[in-house]
Every structure is written in C-alpha cells, then in structure tokens.
Amino acid sequence: MVTVVEPAGFAQALREWRERRRVSQLELALRAGTTQRHVSFIERGRSLPGRSMVVRLAEALEVPLRERNALLLAAGFAPAYPQTSLDDPSLDPVRSALEHVLDGHMPYPAVLTDRDAQLVAANPATGALLVGTAPWLLDAPVNLARVLLHPDGIAPRIGNLGEWGWHVIDGLARKADRDRNPALEAVIAELVEYVPPRPRHLPAGHLGFAVPLRLRADEQELALLTTLAHFATAIDVAVAELTLEAFLPADAATAAFFTQSTGEVRG
C-alpha cells in the first residue's frame, strides 16, 4: 500500500526526508542539479516542482520507491513505480533469478525478506539453521528477526545472544529509520524484550556487535558470518524492498556441518 501524503503537505514531506538524511538544502540542490534557492522555495511552498524534479529530489535523498510514489502523489502526479505482487507472472524472470541465487548459496543458509523482515523465500539449508524453532513461529507470515531472537526460536542456541541480538536489532533500527517504517519499528520494540540489556560498559577485547553468530548444534558451536544484499536498481516497489541475507561459515567445522546437514536433507 502506498503511503499517501496530502498535496498541501509535499513541502513538509520533502523537508522531513532531507532532515532525516541529514542533508543541507545546498547539498540536496547540488545532488538534484538545481539551486538552493529553488529547494528553499519548494520547502516553503512557494514553488511547485515538476514531475522530473520530484523524482530527482527523491532520488538524491535515496527515498525508497514506495515513498517516492507518495511524494509524487503529494505533488499531484501519478505514481511512477509499479508495486507488483511477487507471485505475479510478470515477475517470473525476477523470481526465477532470485531462486537461482538462493540455490547457488547451498549448502549454506540464505533467505529473502521483505521490508518488515518477513520471510519471502529460503533455500533448503535454512532448515538446519532453524532447528528447534517452535512451529507457531514458522506459521505464515514468518518474521525472520522474531524467529532468530524469540525464546521459542533459535535464541536458546545462540551462544552470544547479547552481542549478536543487538547487532540484529541495530541493523533493523537503521533500516526502519532510513525507510520510515512504523511496522518494523514495532517489531524492533518487541525484539528488545528478548535479548539481554545492552551493556553500559563494554568488556575488554570487545570487537563490536558485528561478530559471528555463534550457534550451538549437535554438541558443537557453529560460527556464521552474515552478509546483506539489496536490489538498489529495481524499479518495482516489491523487488526494491527485498533483502537477501546469506550466512557463511566462519570456520571449517561450520562448513562441514552444513555440508553434511544439506546432504542428509537432499538424501
């Protein structure tokens, strides 16, 4: 669903996005190929931008496609970016390519999530990652962040829940703030209740929260790195909002575990 901004509120919406990105009027003007004076007039409601200028300003501020459509509507123009259901036949080539990417990451887990951290697709190796998760957490729609950090999810198996949990939460918080997503903010508020309090004083040797996920499995501790990919050049709202999260082994033992687990699944 497109967020609708009232036409009279376009100037305020643009200013809010600029302030959210911590960009000055001058910097925005330079990025969008216009003048600071023109940006100032737009934000004060003294000048009405054309369609191409709205798109340029939104692009310069890296406004998500969903919200770019809202800005266009606010300025009196039709939305420019389609929002197609991922199961629509027109997206068959995209869906096929994404499935190929997921399968290509085998024997290690890889998932696709939407803007609210809900699971869209996963490869077979993800099953080995989510062992022990309560069935109700896997009922659609599945929120991957909730599965990872909920006490009935894999949280009891995470050896560094405090560090890694805040790593996940902080990443989602940055995304929610950047994309202006109240639904994701609500998920974050829930997740905070599942992890230990953020430490006020970091222990000696602390290397930051971007540390490997340490997961207990079959009486051994696995170490997994995670990498995130976004589809920044997509012109469809649904595709642009997807995130690919791939898990990589941080040591030989973890690689062997998933290779064996995946072989057992396929067998």
Domain 7-74 and domain 89-199+206-266, same fold? Reply is no
Average pLDDT, the chain: 89
pLDDT of 215 > 90? The answer is: yes
pLDDT of 6 > 50? The answer is: no
Chain segment 32-73, per-residue pLDDT in tens: 999 999 999 999 988 889 999 999 999 999 999 999 999 999
| 7-74 belongs to CATH 1.20.1560.10 | no
Q: What angle do CA 215, 241, 58 make, to 5 degrees?
A: 135
Write 115-118 long-range contacts (CB < 8 A, 24+): 115/64, 115/66, 115/179, 115/181, 115/183, 115/184, 115/241, 116/143, 116/181, 116/183, 116/184, 116/187, 117/143, 117/144, 117/145, 117/146, 117/172, 117/184, 117/187, 118/142, 118/143, 118/144
Architecture of domain 89-199+206-266: 2-Layer Sandwich (3.30)
- pTM for the full model? 0.84
pLDDT of 267 > 50? The answer is: no
**CA end-to-end span of the chain, whole Å?**
42
Chain segment 147-169, per-residue pLDDT in tens: 999 999 999 999 999 889 998 99
pLDDT of 7 > 60? The answer is: no
- Say which residues have a Cβ less than 8 Å from residue 115's Cβ, sequence separation at least 6: 64, 66, 179, 181, 183, 184, 241
Q: Where are the domains of the chain?
A: 7-74, 89-199+206-266
pLDDT given for residue 4 in this prediction: 46
